[in-house]
């Protein structure tokens, strides 16, 4: 069920939504209200979110969890989001900067609270001797430890 909460928002919010619409249509996806909200959430979050986390953040909307999951999957298949498994067998989704779609980066995973943060400065620089999966960047790079909150 679509909501019409987008109407009457300030102009900069409208241009943000226009940019989301352009991104979706540029990848052949219809700009449905739920897809716009899910993509907007991923882009504003700045790090990976699980389906459960995304559904929680969008709980004030009327979409069911299956719709949100389908949107996350659609975005991943269209190249607007990336799916990662940081080792707990839960898919997490993060927005892909389409201009740097090949920039895979490491993720920090807190061993206490499970928070996942992007490490955009830690990329995959690999030589010819690396296994094919590494050269194709079909791998996950994880750094594990205790986050600032848990280490205190
Ligand atoms: Zn932590
Ligand atoms: Zn990331």
Report domain extents, the chain.
1-97, 102-152
Ligand 2 ion local residues (Cβ < 5 A): 94, 118
pTM exceeds cut of 0.85: no
Other beta carbons within 10 angstroms of residue 29's beta carbon come to 18
pLDDT tens, residue by residue, 1-46:
444 454 555 678 889 999 999 999 999 999 999 999 999 999 998 7
CA of 136 to the centre of ligand 1 (A): 31
pLDDT at 104 over 80: no
pLDDT tens, residue by residue, 121-140:
877 777 888 888 888 877 88
CA of 116 to the centre of ligand 1 (A): 9
CA of 135 to the centre of ligand 1 (A): 31
Q: Kindly identify the ligand whose nearest atom is closest to the C-alpha of 49.
A: 2
Burial class (CB in 10 A: 0-12, 13-18, 19+), 123: middle
In this predicted structure, what is the pLDDT of residue 10?
A: 67
**For range 91-108, the mean pLDDT:** 80
Contact assessment for residue 70 and residue 110, using Cβ atoms and an 8 Å cutoff = no
Q: What CATH number should be reported for the domain whose range is 102-152?
A: 3.30.1490
**For range 109-116, the mean pLDDT:** 91
Q: What CATH number should be reported for the domain whose range is 1-97?
A: 1.10.10.10
CA of 21 to the centre of ligand 2 (A): 22
12, two tokens: 């900069």
Q: Tokens 């996350």 — which residue?
A: 72
**For range 100-104, the mean pLDDT:** 66
More confident residue, 101 or 47: 47
In this predicted structure, what is the pLDDT of residue 123?
A: 72
Quick one: what percent of the chain has pLDDT higher than 70? 89
């Amino acid at each position: 069920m679509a909501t019409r909460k987008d109407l009457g928002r300030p102009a900069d919010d409208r241009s943000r939504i226009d940019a989301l619409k352009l991104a979706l249509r540029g990848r052949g996806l219809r700009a449905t209200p739920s897809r716009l909200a899910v993509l907007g959430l991923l882009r504003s979050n700045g790090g990976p979110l699980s389906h459960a986390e995304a559904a929680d953040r969008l709980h004030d909307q009327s979409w069911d969890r299956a719709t949100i999951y389908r949107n996350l999957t659609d975005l991943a298949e269209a190249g607007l989001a990336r799916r990662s498994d940081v080792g707990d067998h839960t898919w997490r989704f993060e927005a892909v900067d389409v201009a740097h779609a090949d920039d895979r980066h490491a993720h920090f995973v807190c061993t206490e609270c499970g928070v996942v943060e992007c490490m955009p400065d830690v990329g995959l620089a690999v030589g010819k001797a690396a296994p094919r999966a590494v050269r194709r960047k079909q791998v996950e790079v994880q750094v594990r430890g205790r986050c600032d909150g848990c280490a205190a």
